[in-house]
Chain A
């Protein structure tokens, strides 16, 4: 993988060996050792075993194989999704030519496992489906097309949402059936075709769509392996008897996968914001049972990452939980659960947002010894259009019904007596950046597993973070700060090394570079969460680097960076902000007895929100209440500190 563990061992050996060396060779000075262990090499490429650049991808893309995507009219199968992600131009399901500004490096097609492939087969009139009155009726309608087609689609949607689908018919699209096996085989075959190690990686995966009375507990499941192993199983579903909505059963499936195939697998939870408090429980699981050791250890084992931002709302922080955080209210969706069948109350929020979950993790670890929420952060789209679009100026919406068209802003996305989410509230977000050593399934998966990843809401800014005990400004200005970062500290997603004698507080080397075709940066922040001696959890936000010569006011608040956005023309300039920001920051209020985590948040200067591009391009007014600009951001995975016991 790389030589970091090797280096750590070497350092440890050196440390142990010192007294012995001292006996007959004199005491080595730090200068002489520095010469021997510079980590420098004559060959400039010899040290390239750490990641040079982040690899960009989407862990969470739905295609026409997903039942809901198909229902809303997505007709693009995984092959089109891959072509699009690789940078080719495709035609969207509504007939619009579309292309990414630049290719992604990797993609996970993660279709819903329940009913996978069903809608596509209705659309093409799969003969096996004629055996059932419902599907035969829909096929007939679809084949007639026109009004009859629309009526059939509506009938299908109504039947589906009223839970009136013939179970025998649907059983063909569940584990255990031959059709289902065939569909999974095709999913794998497509991934194999488009997976090109070194150039583009297609990871094999699916989404397990657990819903408890409308409360979202979905997980995206990703395999490290290729066809040979993936073919030995079919996806795990949530419908009984083969499936289950209980995450513990998903973890059993994952355990079984690894035992059976000798492969590796992980799961990523998402949209805690639509879970009505059950995503990150503190005391009781979704079914009311107490959090036990098994739940805690299995969750920490199988779920190394959390999807902190996506189209259905940003999930890093909530203003109710973080009233001191001026940036917490970002693209917040908090009216209810996934289908808005139950309204949101404030007491649910703590079980929903990433930052609070990281804090709860410390509290649970304090009591039970293991942290179930020790996760890294990624963003992804959860797009249902087969198009991984997260850019404000190129946003193709949540599903096919919300592809670009004049009416999409003020059309309700969801609406009932509990409230409504309007079309404009969709978020053009996010992407996953992975610090992988090479563009292969193995390297990307391993980077996810060690949490050396970060989330962005769409732009491709580079973000580095290293935590250690003795970083200095010189380290930052050195030729290759990353070399020093890895040798003196731990990268994002890791743990601070044991506090050396004499050290007072951890220092963090953080730096960020704007997206080469994107907006300048406003500031870098470090967010610290910790557990005090009484078992209470806290958070603090520090501005650590910012553009220009702004000075914080008496309350420590930094003035806003400004705003260059020309709303009428959906334009902005990089005349404010900075293309790069970097600093070494030392925790000013460190207490070695307290568990803590630190993560980086990078904020861009304001740019036009996707809805502003819509208004400009379609020549329409922005509906009332729609923010014209956005400050996009990145969230790094945390670095944790655990006191020595």
Chain B
């Protein structure tokens, strides 16, 4: 009993039932000998198209016999296609619906691809989205390595010597190390990649052009002198125009898609009817 009830509620059963009825109706009312009312024309262009797509798959043109068969197939497809539309079979098919939706979105997107920023628009976009385009700070520095750990007072002693300007080659005070003694302008990622996490941050606190420290790396204790520093900054538009443009276009495409949808949506009154006591969360 329950099974029958459930079956009666099953959309597939409805579908088969209605389909069956339509079919019976059709057989009953149609006159098998009457002349067909619909015309299907397969023209030369379409035939060429069919031959081409065959060739794309099989790497050779179809034989005459094969071509006939492809044309027959195309006719068959067309007949089924029209009949399916007539029966409304497209209306409840997830995949057909998704494909059509995709095509609509393509329409909107292809429109968006053509949009170019008005004068001043990119500049404004850059200003409004500073965080996204900001460049990380850079440091160029020289360092000497004092070993894994140092005796108390040792680093101050060396620092005094360095600051006195009597040391011709600071690296002579360094413990032997394979760490680079100088780095040209480098990002936090580079510096920390070489010296270990957090080294850039310590360096960044140092004054420019003066030996300072001690600092601690993944390897031990260092003194360093900053030679050049570039603060985190927002580059001029000219410098990063390409990147900003790409970003702006992506944003614009999204906007246009939404606008396009909103415009279409405005043509509809949507009613959402919930059953009584229906929990909105399960919608």
Contact = CB atoms under 8 A, between A and B. Distances in A.
Contact of B194 (A53, A130, A171): A53
A617 interface: no
A592 interface: no
B189 A130 contact: no
28 contacts: A45-B182, A53-B194, A56-B193, A102-B192, A125-B94, A125-B98, A127-B99, A127-B102, A139-B95, A199-B187, A241-B59, A460-B193, A462-B178, A477-B176, A479-B169, A480-B180, A480-B182, A481-B178, A511-B178, A516-B192, A516-B196, A516-B217, A516-B218, A516-B219, A517-B218, A579-B148, A580-B178, A582-B176
Given A464-B178, A517-B197, A582-B178, A130 B95 contact: yes
Which of the four size classes fits the interface of chain A? 35 or more
Contacts of B169: 479
A44 B99 contact: no
Nearest to B171: A479
Contact of A102 (B184, B193, B217, B227): B193
B195 interface: yes
B179 interface: yes
A125 B148 contact: no
A184 B193 CA distance: 33
Contacts of A45: 140, 182, 184
Contact of A53 (B94, B95, B180, B227): B180
Interface of A: 44-45, 48, 52-53, 56, 87, 102-103, 125, 127, 130, 139, 143, 168, 171, 176-178, 193, 199, 241-242, 460, 462, 464, 477, 479-481, 511-513, 516-517, 579-580, 582
A513 B196 CA distance: 12
Interface of B: 56-57, 59, 94-96, 98-99, 102, 140, 142, 148, 169, 171, 176-184, 187, 189-190, 192-197, 217-220, 227, 246
Nearest to A478: B171
A429 to B, nearest CB: 20
Contacts of B189: 87, 102-103, 199
Contacts of B196: 516-517
Interface of chain B, helix or strand or loop or mixed? mixed
Given A127-B95, A143-B94, A479 B217 contact: no
Given A45-B184, A52-B183, A580-B219, 17 more contacts: A56-B193, A102-B189, A125-B95, A127-B96, A127-B102, A139-B95, A143-B94, A171-B57, A242-B59, A480-B182, A481-B178, A512-B178, A513-B179, A516-B196, A516-B219, A582-B176, A582-B178
Contact of B181 (A102, A479, A512, A516): A479
A347 B102 CA distance: 57
B169 to A, nearest CB: 7
B84 to A, nearest CB: 13
A604 to B, nearest CB: 15
Contacts of B218: 516-517
A139 B56 CA distance: 24
A475 B140 CA distance: 25
Contacts of A56: 193
A177 B193 contact: no
Contacts of B192: 102, 516
Contacts of B171: 479
A580 B177 contact: yes
B145 to A, nearest CB: 10
Contact of A52 (B56, B142, B180, B227): B180
Contacts of B142: 44
A576 B180 CA distance: 24
Highest count of chain B CB atoms <10 Å: which of A87, A171, A516 = A516
Nearest to B182: A44
Contacts of A87: 189
A542 B192 CA distance: 33
B168 to A, nearest CB: 12
Nearest to A131: B77
Contacts of A176: 56, 59
Contacts of A102: 189, 192-193, 197
A64 B219 CA distance: 40
Contact of A516 (B177, B193, B227): B193
Nearest to B193: A102
B182 to A, nearest CB: 5
B246 A193 contact: yes
Contacts of A511: 178
A369 to B, nearest CB: 39
Nearest to B190: A53
A176 B55 CA distance: 10
Contacts of B184: 45, 48, 52
A516 B194 contact: yes
Contacts of B219: 513, 516, 579-580
A514 to B, nearest CB: 8
Contacts of A480: 180-182
Contacts of A103: 189
A574 to B, nearest CB: 10
Nearest to A44: B182
Contacts of B187: 199
Contacts of A193: 246
Contacts of A177: 56-57
Contacts of A516: 192-197, 217-219
A127 B171 CA distance: 67
